Amino acid sequence: MTSPPAPLSTVWRGGTGWRARLRRALRRLKARAAVETLPSVEAYALWAAAYPPRAHNRLMEIEQAEMLRLLPNVAGRSVLDLACGTGRYGLIAGQRGARRVVGADNSAAMLQRGGLRPAAEASMTALPFAANSFEVVICGLALGHLPPEAMRRAIAEIARVLRQGGTALFSDFHPYLYLKGGRRTFCAPDGATYAVEHYPHLVADYFAAISAAGMMVTAISEPLRQVDGAEVPVVLVMQCHLIACFSGE
């Protein structure tokens, strides 16, 4: 009697015993070690020339669909595209009738490549805007480039520049995907592949930072996709509101 063919996943993955698992883990470690990780400013200086102001990979398409689903009506409103890069969300806000759109990013190369004006060269952790300046703050795929303390400072800055009742909407490479070995890589003009510095922030980390900044989470989205044969969350999208202050009387 002949045995049934092995399931495709078993053949493809090279077995399920401990030796095979160890070999795969070593291969993954080697592959990861081979890709150099660059600090964000250095990485985007290299990436800027090939970074269009639109979703340009599958992860960004998934992320953008969720961001736009949760984006409030921006018509007639003032909008900050924070860590705007080449201006993807600021340009969308402009097309949707925003009264005023401003960008901010700490990469001069990304700002030059992009079409968003005005745009300030500034860090998310120290914004050059007065308190209560914007009704909507959008921040796409950038907070994960900050270490934990800087992420908390950036969220506090978002709350400071938002008007009472305003909306903040931001997205991140999902921490689960990062902890499973996923990396944010790009191909530089010299043909080499690099990873961009990234720090996984759990939903609980964001929730604590958002609450500490006086905002309230009003929606969370974690779309699932198949990665290596398993359904995993690939991006995290959070919508928050700046809570109005009550005098208590």
Ligand X SMILES: C[S@@+](CC[C@H](N)C(=O)[O-])C[C@H]1O[C@@H](n2cnc3c(N)ncnc32)[C@H](O)[C@@H]1O
Whichever of 24 and 183 has its CB closer to ligand X, that residue is 183
DSSP string, 166-198: EEEEEEEE-HHHHHTT---EEE-TTS-EEEEP-
Whichever of 94 and 140 has its CB closer to ligand X, that residue is 140
Whichever of 106 and 167 has its CB closer to ligand X, that residue is 106
What mask, x for binding ligand X by CB under 6 A, covers residues 4 to 43?
------------------------------------x---
Please give the structure tokens belonging to residue 120.
Answer: 């300030």
Bridge pairing between strands 235-242 and 215-221: antiparallel
Nearest-angstrom CA–CA distance, 128 and 198: 24
Nearest-angstrom CA–CA distance, 175 and 172: 8
Q: Which stretch binds ligand X (CB under 6 A): 6-14, 22-30, 83-91, 210-218?
A: 83-91
Whichever of 146 and 159 has its CB closer to ligand X, that residue is 146
Least separation in angstroms between CB 63 and ligand X: 8
For ligand X, how many residues bind (rule: CB under 6 A)? 17
Could you tell me if 16 and 10 are in contact, meaning their C-beta atoms sit under 8 angstroms apart?
yes
Least separation in angstroms between CB 146 and ligand X: 6
Question: For tokens 């990436």, what's the residue?
Answer: 47
Q: Which stretch binds ligand X (CB under 6 A): 1-9, 78-86, 127-135, 235-243?
A: 78-86
Neighbours of 159 (CB within 10 A): 21
Residues of this chain that bind ligand X (CB under 6 A) = 40, 44, 83-85, 88, 105-107, 110, 123-124, 140-142, 145-146
